[in-house]
Chains A and B, each alone.
Chain A
Amino acid sequence: MPDHRPRARTRSALDPPLSFKVIRAVFLTLLTGFVALPVYVMITSSLKPLSDVAGAFRWIPSGLTVRPYIDIWHTVPLAKYFLNSLIVAGAATVCSVVIAVFAAYAVSRYRFRGKRLFTVTVLSTQMFPGILFLLPLFLIFVNIGNTTGVALYGSRGGLILTYLTFSLPFSIWMLIGYFDSVPRDLDEAATVDGCGPLGALFRVVVPAAVPGIVAVAVYAFMTAWGEVLFASVMTNDTTRTLAVGLQGYSTQNDVYWNQIMAASLVVSIPVVAGFLLLQRYLVAGLTAGAVK
């Protein structure tokens, strides 16, 4: 369960000394500058005319224009890429969360042979580099296409399947932590009152773990939304996602930096907003495993 205790924790009644305050102020100011610089560049450049971003960098735009925000939809089929990303990331999220709910419930609530093997396997697959799965999956998809005619390579379904390689183990792992934090007495009481095991899962455990499930879903979505490796190999013209599509703003003659920045901002806003809204739940889940 997320921690709702107030975050502000006064360390001591004494006011910190000046040296501490000065060092803190200097450090946090520099760090803020470092963090905010690209955000500033992204926002201001997205409002600049092309002549501004093609020449030497300017801190202040010579003139503000919203043209890049109109042009981004025509220079490349951004709406199509957006839709593809939405479908792929959404489907990968739903699949992995639904399957992980069952698996995590089994691990959290039952004792069975092979449980430890299962959890260790799930945990260890998270450390494997994506490149390890990319080559074989690519060849499997190509070969399945050649022998059965089922076009997995280049299809959204194929891409969704590859995204499960990272979103499924992550979802299972996080949900085990969340389900463990739901008191066992609750679903045992539900079982006593006549619920089957699945009834207990869906009437008691899932509702109690809703914040955790939402956080896992947001995180899985975010990761899939930002994925580049599989997207760059496993997509074609019709299934291309944003990760690959944004490269279309660089042509042989021109790089439309103002449009790239505008498009980057547009594709970032949904996930950044979602993340900032739900980060408290996410932090609770991410740290539950680490702090224990």
Chain B
Amino acid sequence: MTSVTTEGAGRLRRTATRVRGTGRVRRGALPYLLLLPALLLELLIHLVPMVMGILMSFRELTQFFIRDWSRAPWTGFDNYDLAVDVNRPVGEALLGSFLTTCLFTLLSVALCWFLGTAAAVFMQENFRGRGVLRALFLVPYALPVYAAVITWAFMFQRDNGLVNHVIHDQLGLGGAEHTFWLLGDNSFWALLIVSVWKGWPFAFLIVMAALQNIPKELYEAAALDGAGIWQQIRRITLPSVGAVNQVLILVLFLWTFNDFNTPFVLFGKSAPEAADLISIHIYQSSFVTWNFGTGSAMSVLLLLFLLLVTAVYLFLTSRGRRDADA
């Protein structure tokens, strides 16, 4: 755009030129320049590793080839065969871990959603101590994972933990012999409790924010019509958070399904079989037994599963929303 040289060109004209100027830039290279750093980094930290991960999954990548992975022999779909063949130990263990993760995720998401929603509904109205309670409820969410989970690990210790002290010594339940919580079948429940403790405040936060958008008049009208508080909750409060729930449940699902930090801090590099979540399982297959090829194949399968679930979920919920709108 040329500068305004004509004498007497007013401010209006200059303004018009600038506006047209911006219009031109807005369609031009500027947005790409602004995006450039982000694009380069995305390429470096997401795209390249992902492509590499897929390539790695077709190779027999053991510790001998870590120094130069391109020399690892190409094996086609062998890693995938190994991962999905449930008649052999690797596939059988992966399937077990996958099913454990599914059950764990289902229970954890359901409990997180329930606790978060109930707490948000009960705290919709003001009462004495509400602010303090709200701050306290956010503490599990704010604490660094390792600090919080290590405290739970301490509480679940067999000999000097709080849980066994209360159950066995104080309540006299479960016999004199202390229970193992971080080994064996009980480890599933220990992990679930920690996961719910850590995860429910997020549901609480989101639902609470959604409840603030409900017009007060709705409740007033309902009260005038003689609806009691339970009816108001059932007819107004819960339906109003429906749209938010769709996103909330998806996010909770993805976080719980992918969670590595909680089991890793609770159990270490190898989780007990009953609590062997998929991300720990892949970690162990890769970094403990040093088979990156199989680990990569498992990662790719996990990614495909997550993409599929997300796509189906979004399709179903968006169709539900369209039906509701119609």
Show the binding face of A for B, using Cβ within 8 Å: 3, 5, 7-14, 16-17, 20, 24, 27-28, 31-32, 34-39, 41-42, 45, 53-57, 99-100, 102-103, 105-107, 109-112, 115, 118, 121-122, 125-137, 139-140, 142-143, 146, 161-162, 164-165, 168-169, 172, 188, 191-192, 194, 197, 222, 225-229, 232-233, 242-243, 246, 257, 260-261, 264-265, 267-268, 271-272, 275-276, 279, 283-284, 286-287, 289-291
Contacts and interface: CB of A to CB of B under 8 A. Distances in A.
B184 to A, nearest CB: 20
6 contacts: A20-B229, A56-B160, A106-B31, A110-B26, A142-B67, A283-B205
Nearest to A8: B126
The main secondary structure of chain B at its interface with chain A is helix
A151 to B, nearest CB: 14
A131 B144 contact: no
B48 A140 contact: yes
Contact of B260 (A100, A130, A142): A130
Interface of B: 15, 18-19, 22, 25-27, 30-32, 34-35, 37-39, 41-42, 44-46, 48-50, 52-53, 56, 66-69, 115, 118-119, 122-126, 130, 133, 135-148, 150-152, 154-155, 159-162, 164-165, 169, 197, 205-206, 208-210, 212-213, 216, 219-220, 222-223, 228-230, 232, 243-244, 247-248, 251, 254, 257-258, 260-261, 264-265, 279, 282-283, 286-287, 292, 295-296, 299-300, 302-303, 306, 310
B261 A272 contact: no
A152 to B, nearest CB: 12
Contact of A290 (B37, B38, B69, B206): B206
B229 A11 contact: yes
A261 B154 contact: yes
B52 A53 contact: no
A142 B39 CA distance: 24
Contacts of B50: 128, 132-133, 136
A132 B18 contact: no
A50 to B, nearest CB: 11
Contacts, number: 313
A8, A39, A233, A287: residue with the most chain B Cβ atoms closer than 10 Å: A287
A13 B31 CA distance: 52
B68 A143 contact: yes
A179 B282 CA distance: 38
Contacts of B212: 3, 5, 7, 9
Greatest chain B CB density within 10 A among A38, A284, A289 is at A38
Contacts of A146: 67-68
Given A106-B34, A110-B31, A139 B292 contact: yes
A228 B146 contact: yes
A268 B143 contact: yes
A102 B38 contact: yes
Find the residue from B137, B146, B244 having the highest chain A CB count within 10 A. B146
Contacts of A172: 38
Given A3-B212, A226-B261, A162 B223 contact: no
Contacts of A290: 206, 209-210, 244, 247-248, 251
